[in-house]
Amino acid sequence: MTIKVGDRLPEAAFKVMTADGPGELKSADLFGGKTVVLFGVPGAFTPTCHMNHLPGFIEHEETIKAKGVDTIAVVSVNDLFVMDAWSKASNANGKVTFLSDTDASFVKAAGLALDAPIFGHTRSQRFALIAKDGEITFLSIEESPGEATATGAAAVLAAL
């Protein structure tokens, strides 16, 4: 079942790149006591994700955070090395937190998994949400993974 507004986000342990190398970020640490914008993408470096979805959040990072958001994060079912390379290639360091849901456990638990045989394994649906202390206050899911309008930075800003 897909999560909805009013639900709490599922527990997760995301893989992240730290200054000391590979690390882990638990959902309680990411969402606890904070307002977080989280958006999910089918894959790092894929055309819509790389050229349309991520750039809006980087460009509008200051405006989003000025509305009371503590963290902007992107999650994808890619390994943490790919997510780290994507962060660096996008000049997003310090603006967006890149989360690796390596085994798709978070997106499956949230009901946001995308079975896409063309990718070779389960991916994330394209979504955006706002969570306050782990409770969802806004959620939008794109009907087509090739679109990034209902889940883009402009839609999130309108919801804030």
Query: Cα–Cα distance between 6 and 61 in angstroms, integer?
Result: 25
Q: Which residues lie across from 6 on neighbouring strands? A: none
pLDDT(143) > 80: yes
pLDDT value of residue 74: 98
**Strand, coil or helix: what is 9?**
coil
pLDDT(120) > 80: no
Taking each continuous run of H as one helix and of E as one strand, the counts in the chain are 7, 9
Tens-place pLDDT, residues 86-107:
999 999 989 999 999 999 999 9
Please pick, among 36, 49, 128, 139, the residue that the annotation labels catalytic: 49
Tens-place pLDDT, residues 31-71:
999 999 999 999 888 878 777 889 999 999 999 999 999 99
List the domain boundaries for the chain: 13-159
Fold classification of 13-159 is Glutaredoxin (3.40.30)
Residue 49 designated active-site: yes
Q: What are phi and psi of 144, to 5 degrees?
A: -120, 130
